[in-house]
A and B are shown apart, each in its own frame.
Chain A
């Protein structure tokens, strides 16, 4: 099989690194990565544990196809209990470190406890060593990466690292790998820093063998690559325009959350879109976009590599920001731009670079800045709080200064590091936080895309588009077109997307393959790699099992039906413009039907029959 069949358990309190066999019985039920690591987490921690205490654990997990020749087979996930939401957290990242970990001979690393002093893990094939991180604690991710590459004199080591934001306790800190790929959401980086673990350095030269049926694997992965290459989205659209192509689409359909979701269309959207990233600048005649980029094994290559206008105010006397680096994806461009009302493409790119350099989730950061701007607008926050910054919607200066302050944990940055929910509570306006379960919304307004309202409300990690991306059906027509303004059929649609995505997230593949693939394309690849007799049906069932396992963790952690809701603004204040003008999200029509479709009680708990059916 494509499994290495072993995990590394790192006890940071004791300073030990111990090899253990991977639980293959669980792998047969939960596939790997998101599913398998969640099973480990559920078995090993009390769901009520303080997320930032040594009793929480943090798992870095690969899937069975990570590190193989399957297209996009380079993904890994970070699984823990979230300090932002109190729910289960699972953040997925590309780049190269996932494949490197597998090639070093490990399927998973479980970190437990807390080191007395900052450390990093150095992992070279079988050799695992905890090393003092005093020289890099307090440094940015980019500085730490350079230090470690210089120290080991090996350009091929792969590094996952937390930034100063995480060290300072920012609740939406990411684990950044390969400089600008991130396990971004839910504060997984905050947990890592709370364990005094600065970085994980990996070098693997063993390769990934043990494929169950090599001939079938060659055939299945080659067929999959052909499908992706011939698909207009994965073969042409994403490599050329990236996810940012959605900026004008979502604005046109009136589902662009704008100015902390006061509005559903942003007048400046075209200035920060994929099309704008291709326009030559006046200063140097070059466009923002330098090239696209691919993660390990990826044949799509949706990544953006960008530069900032050399004359832009943000980078004067900052040579470290004058080179090409990870550019704007749609989610970052929306949160940093539309939600704050800022239409300065270079300011957004700068804020995105800062988020990469110091490991902040740009969705949560941008949304929190947007909430702060609304609080400033109402007078609940003043320049006395902000240290003199005029925190007005549309202010690029406020946005970029905020990024710097959160990155270093200074001044008003400490308030912004709390996230939108705690910030709005602190300043007396909890209803202005655009969050579910304490996690900030992504870039689709559920008044204009009804199914996404249900997807957000029921997402196991708080508001998230990647737990059930019904946008694909409601807007793009993949796999079938549904009406974004209707709630009909959405409970079943959301469930189907959630279950399928949970399965894909557990394989080591990128969820973007699903724009071209279905589980019918993925199952033969997993089955050829692993024992288990995987079919599209058994993978979908595993996805449903994973979803219910996560749900049970959250219920045991103290969450309930009351947390499956949306902010009042989206349920009471109608959209002002666009096709959804006059509409709110009709969650009340969908939620009971969703619970029924899931086989849950009216209170949102899996019934005994459902648990039995899924083998939970």
Chain B
């Protein structure tokens, strides 16, 4: 299935060169987990702190589960904060 992958801040370095403004559409196997997507793009699991699917937080215990549906948007950040 196709999903959209967004990697921001220091995670942007793991994006394929064809990504535009931190965003790329990718094909993943049915049943893939968040961690499998991370591994495929060589994003160290410890660096991906804030993980959202369609803007909703993915709990750490959900990151090995098959939770994707076609068209989902997966967005990730390292630890960030602001004000």
B82 close to A244 (CB less than 8 A): yes
* Cα of A275 to Cα of B21 in the assembled complex, Å: 8
Give the chain A neighbours of B21 by CB distance below 8 A.
Answer: 270, 275-276
Q: Are A236 and B78 in contact (CB under 8 A)?
A: yes
Cα A476 to Cα B50 with chains together (Å) = 7
Asked if residues A233 and B81 are in contact (CB atoms below 8 Å), the reply is yes
Complex formed: what's the CA distance from A484 to B52 in Å?
A: 13
Binds B, one of A17-25, A313-321, A465-473: A465-473
The residue in chain B whose Cβ has the minimal distance to the Cβ of A247 is: B82
Chain B positions 18-66 with a Cβ under 8 Å from a chain A Cβ: 21-22, 49-50, 52, 54-57, 59
Q: Is the CB of B55 within 8 A of A243?
A: no
Do B8 and A245 have beta carbons less than 8 Å apart?
A: yes
Interface membership of chain A positions 467-501, coded 1 if the CB is closer than 8 angstroms to chain B and 0 otherwise = 00100100111100101100000000000000000
- A270's closest neighbor in chain B, by CB? B21
Contact with B along A265-305 (1 / 0, CB 8 A): 00000100011100000000000000000000000000000
Q: Could you tell me the distance between the alpha carbons of A472 and B79 in the complex, rounded to whole angstroms? A: 11
Report whether A252 and B6 are in contact in the complex, using a CB–CB cutoff of 8 Å: yes
**A248 and B8 contact, CB distance less than 8 A:** yes
- Closest-CB distance, A488 to chain B (whole angstroms): 15
Known A252-B75, A275-B21, A469-B83: A236·B10 in contact at CB below 8 Å: yes
Q: Which residues of A contact B83 (CB under 8 A)?
A: 243, 329-331, 465-466, 469, 511-512
**Taking each of B8, B9, B21, B55, which has the highest tally of chain A beta carbons within 10 Å of its own beta carbon?**
B55
Asked if residues B9 and A237 are in contact (CB atoms below 8 Å), the reply is yes
Most buried by B among A237, A243, A469, A578: A237
A539 within 8 A of B: no
Known: A237-B78, A237-B80. A253 touches B55 (CB 8 A): yes
Is A416 an interface residue when CB atoms closer than 8 A count as contact? no
CB distance from A245 to the nearest CB of B (A): 5
Chain B residues within an 8 Å CB radius of A248: 6, 8, 22, 75
Task: Flag if B80 contacts A241 (CB, 8 Å).
Answer: yes
Least CB distance, A55 to chain B, in whole angstroms: 34
Question: Which of these, B8, B12, B56, contacts A249 with CB under 8 Å?
Answer: B8
A contact residues around B50 at 8 Å (CB): 249, 475-477
CA–CA, A74 to B64, complex, Å?
Answer: 45
Q: Identify the closest chain A residue to B79 (Cβ).
A: A232
Q: Is B14 an interface residue (CB 8 A)?
A: no
- Tell me whether B78 and A476 are in contact (CB under 8 A): no
Within 8 A of B (CB), among A199-234: 231-233
Q: How large is the interface on A (under 10, 10 to 19, 20 to 34, 35 or more residues)?
A: 35 or more
- Contacts A232-B49, A270-B22: A275 and B8 contacting too (C-beta < 8 A)? yes
Smallest distance from the beta carbon of A479 to chain B beta carbons, Å? 12
> With a CB–CB cut-off of 8 A, which chain B residues contact A477?
49-50
Within 8 A of B (CB), among A9-28: none
Establish whether residues A246 and B49, one from each chain, have CB atoms under 8 Å apart when the complex forms. Answer: no
Q: How far is the CA of A274 from the CA of B49 in the complex (A)?
A: 18
- Inter-chain CA distance A331–B52, complex, in Å, is 22
Given contacts A240-B10, A275-B21, contact A245 B80 (CB under 8 A): yes
Q: State whether A245 and B77 are in contact (beta carbons under 8 Å apart), knowing that A252-B6, A270-B21 are contacts in the complex.
A: yes
Residues of chain A lying within 8 A (CB to CB) of residue B55: 252-254, 578-579
Q: Does A243 lie within 8 Å of B22, measured CB to CB?
A: no
Determine the distance from Cα of A466 to Cα of B50 in the docked complex, in whole angstroms. 22
A275–B79 CB distance below 8 A = no
Complex: A353 Cα to B49 Cα, angstroms: 34
For B22, the chain A residues whose CB sits under 8 A away are 248, 270, 275
Once bound together, how far apart are the Cα atoms of A511 and B82, in whole Å?
Answer: 10
Chain B residues with CB under 8 Å of A512's CB are 81, 83
Please give, as numbers and ranges, the residues of chain A lying within 8 Å of B56 by CB-CB distance: 253, 579
Nearest A residue to B56 via CB reads A579
B81–A478 touching, CB < 8 Å: yes
Q: A240-B9, A274-B9, A275-B22 are in contact. Are A252 and B52 (CB under 8 A)?
A: yes
- What are 16 A-B interface contacts by the 8 Å CB criterion? A232-B49, A236-B78, A237-B9, A237-B10, A241-B10, A242-B82, A245-B82, A248-B22, A275-B21, A276-B21, A469-B83, A475-B50, A476-B80, A478-B81, A579-B55, A579-B56
Residue ranges of A at the interface with B (Cβ–Cβ < 8 Å): 231-233, 236-238, 240-246, 248-249, 252-254, 270, 274-276, 329-331, 465-466, 469, 472, 475-478, 481, 483-484, 511-512, 515, 578-579
In the complex, besides A249-B77, A512-B81, 16 extra interface pairs with C-beta distance below 8 angstroms are A231-B79, A233-B80, A237-B80, A241-B80, A243-B83, A244-B82, A245-B82, A252-B6, A275-B12, A329-B83, A330-B82, A465-B83, A466-B83, A477-B50, A481-B59, A512-B83
Please name the 3 residue pairs, one residue from A and one from B, whose CB atoms are nearest each other, closest first: A243-B82, A232-B79, A246-B82
